[in-house]
Structure 1
């Protein structure tokens, strides 16, 4: 295991997401989401890689919710992309805080939604409840407030699942200012981690594999225009 800085994680995740076919805007979100999870010691790069491998060769515009007018989101083209869905949930935060519940049917790497909702919670000063169930992992419930990430049900390992059958997101209207004190001793308060992020060489190499797709192959013209001797050998 090597340790990488949060900056390295974010930059490599962003390039890998772009190389796997995401737009630059979505790739930026994917990089930030991966960094946010890594900073809290939660499953991070492995989640992004699961998403990129499952969707490799697919068109990301076809992995978004079919209709945002309904409170149940799905797509006929396979599992929803959590980066696209999270961004849409951010746009519909007001609907959630009006007491609505939005259900996402079948989501790849669902924990990638949490960072986007975390930023939304800070922006609007309110909280969200996120829960899901996977046949392999069991039930998970997370409460996100502007200041606290609280794992009410499930374990940190459960956040690393590759596919959730249903993800339910609900706005929280009650006062959450005392959540940290109220939940002390129960569940798990997720704190921000400041040290480097441990990553296996396999995961790091997989990130670089996807990132390499963003590089433009060298041509004779680009070599001639670039620094150095071009095609001549003056050594």
Structure 2
């Protein structure tokens, strides 16, 4: 089994050989490492992309807007991902960002995952009945884990989610009330026990 370090380094070198700058190649290496770490087919997809790249023209998206439309070619996932990460502070205010055509969309996901960590908010990505939830770069949840992702996607919707509790106020109050039962009034015997414990406590 290949280590994550090997995956990172080899992806970086292959990306440089494919024509990307060293800076972008380093970002690609980190991204493929993340995909493999989270259980997605990063190496396979990057290989497919580089096999296609010499014979297919991709659109470079440099400035990301709320709605991003390419009239002819699909957007390059690497350029899109790098610029999304670079511009996340300004993109955040859009809440919902759309792209009409993206090639090898799996390759843009790690950049969005790292963007999620920067802004401290989850990001939801949907296309072709596939859904990804990017959770602050801690994990990526999806309904296609360990399966192949389409090599092109139409109408990608990226939603930046506001932070909310997953429980009701009543559920919180109920749990908090139960937690109060651990507060015990301190007595002299408890104080003595606590003092003595320090002599034998190995923590």
Task: Give the C-alpha shift of residue 148 in structure 1.
Answer: 4.0
- Contact between 1:37 and 1:44, CA under 8 Å: does it hold in 2? yes
Which residue in the other structure is 2:49 paired with?
51
| 1:211 paired residue number | none
Question: More helix per residue: 1 or 2?
Answer: 2
Instruction: Give 2:9's aligned residue.
Output: 11
* 8 Å contact kept, 2:59–2:76: yes
Q: Which structure ranks higher in relative contact order (CA pairs < 8 Å, sequence separation ≥ 6)?
A: 1
More strand by share: 1
Report if the CA contact (8 A) 1:129-1:143 is conserved: yes
Q: For residue 123 of structure 1, report the CA deviation from its aligned partner.
A: 2.1
Matched, 1:33 2:31: yes
Question: Aligned equivalents of 1:12 and 1:64: distance in 2?
Answer: 24
Aligned to 1:163: 152
Residue 78 of structure 2 aligns to a residue whose secondary structure is helix
4+ runs deviating over 6 angstroms: none
**Which has more radius of gyration?**
2
Paired position in structure 2 for 1:85:
80
1:214-233 alignment runs, 5 A limit: none
Gaps of 5+ in 2: 168-203
Deviation, structure 1 residue 67: 5.0
Contact 1:67-1:73 at 8 Å conserved across structures: no
Greater Cα offset, 154-163 or 107-116 = 154-163
TM-score (norm 2): 0.71
In the alignment, structure 1 residue 63 sits paired with structure 2 residue 63: no
Q: CA deviation at 1:38?
A: 0.8
Quick one: distance in 2 between partners of 1:148 and 1:110?
A: 17
Query: Paired residue for 2:141, among 150, 158, 165?
Result: 150
Instruction: Assess if the C-alpha contact under 8 Å between 2:95 and 2:161 holds in 1.
Output: no
Instruction: Tell me the alpha carbon deviations over residues 160-194 of structure 1, each in whole angstroms, 9 at most, x when there is no partner.
Output: 2211122211111132678xxxxxxxxxxxxxxxx
Residues 101 and 170 in structure 1, CA contact (< 8 A), matched pair in contact too = yes
- Compute the displacement of 1:20 (Å): 1.3
Is the Cα contact below 8 Å between 1:106 and 1:167 reproduced in 2?
A: yes
8 Å contact kept, 1:97–1:172: no
Shift of 1:127: 1.3
User: Cα distance, 1:159 vs. partner?
Assistant: 5.2
Aligned to 2:191: none
Could you tell me which residue of structure 2 aligns to residue 216 of structure 1?
A: none
Q: Secondary structure at the match of 1:167?
A: strand
Report the CA distance between 1:57 and its aligned residue.
5.7
What RMSD over aligned residues (CA atoms) do the two structures have, in Å?
2.4
Q: CA deviation at 1:149?
A: 2.3
With structure 1 as the length reference, what TM-score do the two structures score? Answer: 0.62
Listed as ranges, the gaps of 5+ residues in structure 1 are 134-138, 179-235
- Structure 1 contact 66–76 (Cα < 8 Å) conserved: no
Which residue is 1:42 aligned to?
40
